[in-house]
Each structure stands twice: as C-alpha cells, then as structure tokens.
Amino acid sequence: MGLSGRTKSTQQDLANELGVSSAVISKWERGIGFPDVSLIEPLAASLGITIAELFKGERTENSVDNEYESLLSDVVKVSANEITKKKKQRIG
C-alpha cells in the first residue's frame, strides 16, 4: 500500500477513518496483511485514489474509465455483501 507515503501520525488518522487500528494500517503498508473487502472503497476514497489504482499499487497516468471503476466498485460491494451474509448464516 505504498501509494500514500503516509507517516505514523497519518496512519492513525486513516485508521480512525476506517475503524481499524494503526497497527493494521502498518501491516497493509508493509504487505503483511490486506484490507477486508468492505474497506476497499472507503480506503481508496480516503487516499484520494481510484479502486483500480489501489489494486494496481500505483497511480495511473491516464484517467481510469468510469465504467471500469464502477464495475470494480460493484464487485467490491457484492463481495462485501456475500461475506456479511455468510457470517450471519454461521452465527444464526
């Protein structure tokens, strides 16, 4: 997640925005862990990048096609919804 060049102080800000710990953010930046799919869209928005740029790991020189970005957003939302459904089925 080296896109942001965030420092420790802003790791905490990002962590607060996303509802995770700064240690989790640090793991993402070091490639030790990955964000939950439900955090992909808010993470990209917080970093001021597109989902495509987040997945690619770098900024794109050309603007990402809006249709492509919309498709990625839909995939992330559907995946998050499916995970939530499966968790609820296990609990109840």
| Model confidence at 90: pLDDT above 80 | yes
For residue 22, the model assigns a pLDDT of 92
Smallest CA-to-CA distance from 76 within 51, 57, 58, 56 is with: 51
Quick: pLDDT tens for 44-78.
Answer: 999 988 888 888 887 877 666 777 788 888 888 88
Quick: pLDDT tens for 1-47.
Answer: 454 554 445 889 999 999 999 999 999 989 999 899 889 999 999 99
For residue 35, the model assigns a pLDDT of 92
Overall pTM > 0.85:
no
For residue 4, the model assigns a pLDDT of 52
Domains parsed from the chain with CATH numbers? 8-91 (1.10.260.40)
Mutual angle of helices 40-47 and 66-91, in 10-degree steps: 140
Alpha-carbon span 6 to 46, nearest angstrom: 12
